Structure 1
Amino acid sequence: MLDPNNNSMTALNVEINALLADHFALYLKTKNFHWHVKGPRFRDLHLLFDEQAIEIRDQIDAIGERVRKNGGDTLTSVGAVAKHTQIKDQDSTTLSAEDMIAGLRDDNRKLVERLKGMKQLAEDAGDNATDGLIDDWTDMAEERVWFLSSLLEN
């Protein structure tokens, strides 16, 4: 286990927890859109949103466990998720499919930006394992951005 009293590790754990909050919030938003998408592209988007939600959900445990392996504490409640996420709520059940796609694309772009910003924190903390996971998580988020962006091209 890495030294949790290391200031660099503390800064990294704060950011990993923020990433965890983003994943929880994005998972719920993606499932909301999966449940409420309508229109001629319903089936394709319903399935895509579910695939993306599952991918995001499956990252949540690994992200939380990184904080624990680094000697820190993870988020403990929905309130903590809301406090630490950069993903904005979307409670509408009547958005157009295009607005859903654009919203998820933009939220995944925020994840990519956060992840790229975490690289130096992992390096400063000497946390090679997190550094490698960041690469994997970035690739997954970039792929979601690519898929969603492609749906909006004419």
Structure 2
Amino acid sequence: MNHEDNSRAALIDALNGLLADHFALYLKTKSFHWHVTGPQFRDLHLLFDGQATEILALTDVIAERVRKNGGLTLTSIGAITARSQIADQDNARLDPRAMIGELADDNRKLIAAMRDVKAIANAAGDNATDGAADDWTDQAEQRVWFLSALVA
């Protein structure tokens, strides 16, 4: 394998990790949407739903970057679980403040992963992924901003 092949393989691997993180965060955000309670119910219910929709929309874009780079994408829940750095949260009665904190922290993890993808894409000469990573990062930063404003 030459340097270009190694760079491309590293990018595919990083993108698949990012894809797994997005699927895991989508499911967690959607679960919080379903299970949130309390005085802020309506606002949080709508916020979590909007954020889940935004996160899910990126999964196809990220997967297509994997395919355009000649790679194969994740194929199962098991593959997602094996690759994601987003921890499961099975407590359906979690306090809304804890939900907000977890989602903010998880989105920060996505931001770090997207910055890594950007650097790897740059090294691999993939300008399209490099540029797209900026938009993905901006979306995650906005989610963190909105979530953090709720507990300030």
Q: TM-score range by the shorter chain?
A: over 0.9
- Equivalent residue for 1:116? 115
Q: Bigger shift: 129-138 or 113-122?
A: 113-122
Alignment of 1:5-154 (within 5 A): 6-153=5-152
Question: Displacement of 1:58 after TM fit?
Answer: 0.5
- Give the whole-Å Cα distance in 2 for the aligned partners of 1:36 and 1:101: 13
Deviations 1:74-97 (A, max 9, x none): 000000000000000000001110
Question: RMSD in angstroms over aligned alpha carbons?
Answer: 1.1
Question: Displacement of 1:139 after TM fit?
Answer: 0.3
Deviations 1:90-148 (A, max 9, x none): 00001110000000000000000111122221111000000011000000000000000
TM-score (norm: length of structure 2) = 0.97
- Give the whole-Å Cα distance in 2 for the aligned partners of 1:29 and 1:151: 18
| Paired positions, count | 150
- Give the whole-Å Cα distance in 2 for the aligned partners of 1:148 and 1:16: 25
Deviations 1:35-60 (A, max 9, x none): 00000000000000000000001111
Report the secondary structure of 1:6's partner residue.
helix
Identity %: 62
Structure 1 segments of 4+ aligned residues over 4 angstroms from their partners: none
Amino acid at match of 1:83: A
Amino acid at match of 1:128: N
- Give the whole-Å Cα distance in 1 for the aligned partners of 2:12 and 2:59: 14
Report the secondary structure of 2:32's partner residue.
helix
- Give the whole-Å Cα distance in 1 for the aligned partners of 2:119 and 2:76: 28
